[in-house]
Chains A and B, each alone.
Chain A
């Protein structure tokens, strides 16, 4: 509890004790009339003076009809009525007391969940250790660090700015960014992103971005802007409160005036006191606090909980869209597969397999093509440049080189055909690299993208949650696409698509979705930014460091685990369910109590429950949205 809350708590305790004492003191007959009135006024004012002031300010600023106004009118009315009729002031003071208890409760609950969330999202680096030319380090504001500077990050510190490691190796804790608990090891030459915590050695990092453009800043920016896009539920509540509060005020006024007037005209006792009391009860019940507080709180907690799981949601409206998803369209590369090339096998080798790989790797040693890199990686030794000469790259086909005095040709079928070498076709899926030694066929190397280990489970999860259509889009060849789709369990595949074909394919799918349902597209943000923004919900995966994806997507998955897709949908569904529960529950209880109040069946005490009790229950329910780790 902060100071403000403690102050309110003390006021509540004083007022409550005072009222209990007054209740049990044998005042009847001793202290009636004005003395009793003033005695009850003390706890009332102690606990409620700020509400009265706020209500007065609201009226003066021509912004009446808020909760303060409702509470002030109801409690003053009850006390005045007590003075002229029953001599019972407890009700009026209790209205204020319980209202303040409810407010305090919600304020503490909000404060607590806010702290939870900000602890979870604690990725903002406060300083950077900037190193100057002479090797001295100075602690500076990360904003002041220019691109290309060197910063030093000791163990336990956060990496302040994105950059490249120039010295040192360490394990990085990325859990605040990705929700992934296994530390990532980094060494010289590797890119690191801000917000990660250096857990062991000291790292010297050359910055590649400004602080404002760095990952940590961008993510915080995204989370902080999340509230600008509101869900239907939130907009409903804002509109509802705007119409509802004045409406109940006028209804209460009508309840106080019309029935007595009718009775008067009919020649009966008007019973003013009764009807005014009913109108005041009506006002207390109708206070919309439970709704206006709990609905935004639900989304606030939901977005916060999701960010801790490494799922960034750009606005609560996307929660809504995601909860209604029945079609999930996925990109293949980077989503279902790792997006990296690896040697998957060496086939039909006429010389030892290791020799095929060694010749291919050496011939390709100067190339930076992903396939060349994967060959070198699979071979795993440091290439000796003196063994290789006369390298000739043939764009789009392959490479020719002289290795250890032998003429090596590495490339695709067309290259082999042009050299009149007859290559063995490969029956597996992937990119095939044929190798020939001195003009005779030596075998081929199969390079394939690896399917993510969780891909099949992720698809299965989506199916069990009722996603009726799962579609995979890819630029790959049909056979390759179908094999992968079959392996992970996707039934619908569109292959050999150019990036613009993907947009039109998604548009066709958008037209055929059921009304009220939405289509989510999952991609890794490379080449598919237009599709991400065209889909109802664009989910970018493994987007750390990819600016275009963070920009275009509505939901950003910080790591590349496809299981996060179903998790995001579950979080969204839970959040929406809680919001709807609160709306229905609060409005239903209020309507019933309003009816009872208007009929004179509900007194002030029930009214207080309908207001404060419902609010507390709704707030507790809203906070459930924060707990999403088990989903």
Chain B
């Protein structure tokens, strides 16, 4: 299960931080943030509900980079 989300973030380093934060979120198998296209590609663990997982991802990303946004 793989989904792509539009994001907004200011700098490439912040994008890398978001990627890191999303990867550490429970239910996320892998995550790639592409600063170039402002996209976050998340692969979810088997059986994880992607809506609730993405809420956590957003929360974790906001924690490390308050300026970022994920358009769910």
Q: Which A residues are within 8 Å of any B CB, using their own CB? A: 53-54, 57, 61, 63, 103, 106-107, 110, 114, 117-118, 223-228, 234, 237-238, 241, 292-293, 295-297, 300, 303-304
Contacts and interface: CB of A to CB of B under 8 A. Distances in A.
A1 to B, nearest CB: 13
Contact of B16 (A103, A107, A117, A296): A296
Interface residues of B, number: 21
Interface in B6-43: 10-13, 15-16, 30, 32-39, 41
A225 B37 contact: no
Given A296-B13, A303-B36, A224 B64 contact: no
Contacts of B32: 224-225, 227-228
A587 to B, nearest CB: 16
Contacts of B37: 114, 118, 223-224
B66 to A, nearest CB: 5
B55 interface: no
B37 to A, nearest CB: 5
Given A114-B36, A224-B34, A238 B16 contact: yes
Interface of B: 4, 10-13, 15-16, 30, 32-39, 41, 63-64, 66-67
A295 B13 CA distance: 9
Contacts of B12: 110, 292-293, 295-297, 300
B41 A225 contact: yes
Given A225-B41, A292-B13, A293-B11, A300 B36 contact: yes
Contacts of B66: 53-54, 57
- Of A103, A234, A241, A292, chain B has the most CB atoms within 10 Å of the CB of A292
A235 to B, nearest CB: 10
Contacts of B35: 110, 227, 296, 300
B17 to A, nearest CB: 9
A170 B37 CA distance: 32
A224 B4 CA distance: 10
Contacts of B67: 54
B7 to A, nearest CB: 12
A63 B63 contact: yes
A110 B10 CA distance: 9
20 contacts: A54-B66, A54-B67, A61-B63, A61-B64, A107-B10, A117-B36, A223-B34, A223-B36, A224-B37, A225-B41, A227-B34, A227-B35, A228-B30, A237-B13, A292-B12, A295-B12, A296-B12, A296-B15, A300-B35, A304-B36
